Amino acid sequence: MTEFWLISAPGEKTCQQTWDKMLAATTRPNVLSTNHKFSIPDLKVGTLDVLVGLSDELAKLDSFVEGVVKKVAQYMADVLEDSRDKVQENLLANGVDLVTYITRFQWDMAKYPIKQSLKNISEIISKQVTQIDNDLKTRALAYNNLKGNLQNLERKNAGSLLTRSLADIVKKDDFVLDSEYLITLLVVVPKTSYPEWQKTYETLAEMVVPRSSNLLFEDNDSGLLSVTLFRKAIDDFKHKARENKFTVRDFQYNEEEMKADKEEMTRLSTDKKKQFGPLVRWLKVNFSEAFIAWIHIKALRVFVESVLRYGLPVNFQAMLLQPNKKNMKKLREVLNDLYKHLDSSAAAIIDSAMDIPGLNLSQQEYYPYVYYKIDCNLLDFKP
């Protein structure tokens, strides 16, 4: 399970007591969740008005940053292409896997100084993640263009003989070149029609050079054959060939153009390899930055919401629960029993919702205790 529930409840006589009570309720007699204390430092509270406004701003910032974290993770998967199974090992926060980072969360005093106001800290995070988002767009655009151009060229060099580039198939010797009267055409003939071609090609137009057809290349279905004829017979030959289901490729032998195509492909391939390493490094570093910022926002939200709900002086215990998948419903019930005295209206809503099948409370998940979900499954696919 990569889902965590970050909750808080007011300190009883001590915060340790709050923790012990929750631990007992969720692990005895059955283990419903794996639990960790979630340490939030003494942040500056500010005024109630500021906290109310900040509560809404942080909700928006939370979903924005989560979106950026997912974008960076997904783009990492796209860039790694065939090595997608390596994605997870590249998605680290501060050098450790995400579960370890969350369960051992420590506030980063250097990045987000707690002497600053809550609003300032949220603005620092917002600026930092907006910068990552903008940089990602720029880098992804450049790399995707390069990759797209290379794929187009690769596509040209693969596929059926009717459409693929012929530059790496034909040689100079296959053509009559620099003749005022003669020209060599290239024709795609289905393998099943080889006998038909041999029988008829010399008579498809009046001025075909006898015995001038050679097989240059074959794929699974067809062959590429050359044939030499007088220039003035080109149109007639093409027309008759089409009637016989032979396809004349529109191709002129041009060494310079073919060389330029090959060089372009080599250049793009080299550029892609050159950019790959630095891009993956950038994604790793900025995934870590964005993810760390995201968990700090969760901590800010728990702090703000706990002060708004439980009042001053600041006295609450933040706790991180990793639910056992089979017991999620039971865990929710146990927590509601444990904390329903905190907010009787929330408890009433939940009790009535449990009696109405199909009623979905998740649009605005509200419980008697402070609750935020953290889902570490950030990719659209399972590696």
Q: Which domains does the chain have, with CATH numbers?
A: 3-150+269-375 (1.20.1460.10), 172-252 (3.30.70.100)
CB atoms within 10 A of CB 7: 24
CB atoms within 10 A of CB 259: 11
Query: What is the C-alpha separation between 376 and 204, in angstroms, rounded?
Result: 68
**Whole-prediction pTM value?**
0.80
- Whole-number pLDDT of residue 359: 43
Q: 3-state SS string over 290-357? A: HHHHHHHHHHHHHHHHHHHHHCCCCCEEEEEEEECHHHHHHHHHHHHHHHHHHCHHHHHHHHHHHHCC
- Are 1 and 322 in contact, with CB atoms under 8 Å apart? yes
Helices (H), ranges, the chain: 15-27, 48-80, 87-90, 98-103, 118-156, 194-200, 234-243, 255-310, 328-339, 344-355
User: 15-27 and 328-339 helices cross at what angle (nearest 10)?
Assistant: 140
Three-state secondary structure call for residue 18 = helix
- Are 92 and 284 in contact, with CB atoms under 8 Å apart? yes
- Name residues of the chain where pLDDT drops below 50: 353-363, 382-383
- Whole-number pLDDT of residue 122: 97
- Whole-number pLDDT of residue 360: 44
The partner residues of 215 in beta bridges, in order of sequence, read 225
- Whole-number pLDDT of residue 363: 41
Q: In what order do the strands lie in the sheet with 214-218?
A: 214-218, 222-230, 182-190, 247-249
With b for 16 or more beta-carbon neighbours within 10 A and e for fewer, the 296-315 pattern comes to bbbbbbbbbbbbebbeeeee
